[in-house]
Structures are given as structure tokens and as C-alpha cells.
A = this chain, B = another copy of it.
Amino acid sequence: MDAQGLVCNSCAIRHRAVCGAMSDTELLELNRISNRRTFEAGQIIMADNEPSEFFANVISGVVKLTKTLCDGREQIVGLLFASDFVGRAYRPENQFSAEAATNTELCCIPRSRFERLLGKHPDLERRLFQHTLNELDCCRDWALLLGRKSAEEKVASFLTMIARRVPNIGCAHSDELKVTRFELPLTRADMADYLGLTIETVSRQITRLKTKGLIALDANREIVVPDIDKLSELAHIGPEAGA
């Protein structure tokens, strides 16, 4: 039974998440074995190379997947947003750790039960497969960014991606003027780890974009983008890439 007594049926991410594959009756079954959990920013959800006993859907918040070298260098190899799936099917442990980047709400499902479900419902498995294919596409976009883009392009790419995937903050003129406004879900340190840069470089590039007039900061984490097209042009993002 769901911890909060909520039913999957009314779940905010029901249609976009893997559960979108399931019929109402199947959802009842899923509902019985899933439970919501919250993680505070910084908490480890799944540890590197340790078996985890559950899978999860992200309901709200952002989860970062990180790899760490023995000498402490760190790289974020994936970001998960609402409706994304956490965990590695067919293998109990990941080769990276999953950590809450912000306060996060997850819908958790015990590993064994979910795998049984996968075996029974080909539609569910197919849906998860497609999710994985999309993740692979994103990862490859990111490889291009990490290997070939300048610091400025990296930061601009990151901001355009976040603008697309994070709920926008309404403001008076947002609709008429196409102003985009959102809260950064990551610290400068996390941004650096995601972009293959240092904190200082990220900070400098942000002030550079600011002086260029491409973005404005209402607070350290609150970004206003007057013209998202200009920003993404600077980012050298191909058609529909970036997330």
C-alpha cells in the first residue's frame, strides 16, 4: 500500500513514467507494492557498486548519478527529473551512485517484485526499454558536450537543458515576452561536476553570460532567460538535443 494512501491512478507522473504502460487493473497491483519516500538534498539513494533493494520513479526533485575516481575527481554522468526511472534492471548494482541533488520524492518498488512485474508485463518492459534508449541518447549528447564544447558552450547548453526540464517559475511578463525563468536545481559544484569543469570556471561563465545580457540572476539559483533561442544558439545545440 502506498505510504500516503495515494493511488497510482492519480499520480502526477503517471503518464510520462514507465507506469504509463500499465492498465488500471495493473496499476492497482503496482499500487500495492510501491511506496513513496522522500530524500533530502545530499542523501545517497543508491551507492556505487552496492546492490540496492529497490527501483524508483522520480516524482519530484532532481537525482544525480555520479562516478568518482579514486583520487576524488567526480563526474555526474546523468541527471534524473520527474518521471525518470532510477535503477538498473537485470543487475542489482549500478556502476555509479545515485544521490538526491535537491529534496526529492521517489516512488519506490522493491527490486524482486518489480522484476517479477517486468517478466509478466511485456508492455512495461518495453516502456522501460524506451526510457533507457532515451537516456542513452542523452548520454551521447553529453559526450559531445564534454569532449568538444568550450566552457561557455557547456554552461549555455546546461542552462537551456534545465530550462526545458525544470518547472518554470511564473512571472508577470513571462507569457507575453517569452521570458523563461526557473530555479537551478544544482549547486555550482554540481554544475561543474556535470560539465567537466571547475566551480570557478562555471561561476565565471555565468557572470560572463550575465554581462552579455543573455541571462539575469534574481538570486544565485534563480535564472531569468530573456531569449532562450539566443542562449541555445550560443550553446550550439543541434535539433532537439540536450536533455
Contact = CB atoms under 8 A, between A and B. Distances in A.
Interface of A: 49, 65, 67, 69-71, 73-75, 77-78, 88-91, 95-96, 122, 125-126, 128-130, 132-133, 135-137, 139-144, 146-149, 193, 195-196, 236, 238-239, 241
A207 B143 CA distance: 26
A153 to B, nearest CB: 9
B49 A239 contact: yes
Nearest to A66: B144
Contact of A136 (B75, B132, B193): B132
A148 B70 contact: no
Contact of A133 (B65, B132, B144, B239): B132
A3 to B, nearest CB: 29
B89 A147 contact: no
26 contacts: A69-B144, A69-B238, A70-B236, A70-B238, A73-B148, A74-B148, A75-B143, A77-B140, A77-B143, A88-B133, A90-B129, A90-B130, A95-B137, A95-B241, A96-B140, A122-B122, A125-B126, A129-B129, A132-B136, A136-B139, A139-B139, A146-B147, A147-B193, A147-B195, A147-B196, A148-B196
Q: Which of A147, A148, A236 has the most CB of B within 10 A?
A: A147
Best-buried of A88, A128, A238 by chain B (most CB within 10 Å)? A238
A148 B75 contact: yes
Contact of A89 (B77, B133, B239): B133
A140 B80 CA distance: 14
A143 B142 contact: yes
Kindly list the 5 A-B residue pairs having the minimum CB-CB distance in the complex, ordered from nearest: A147-B196, A146-B146, A77-B140, A139-B139, A75-B147
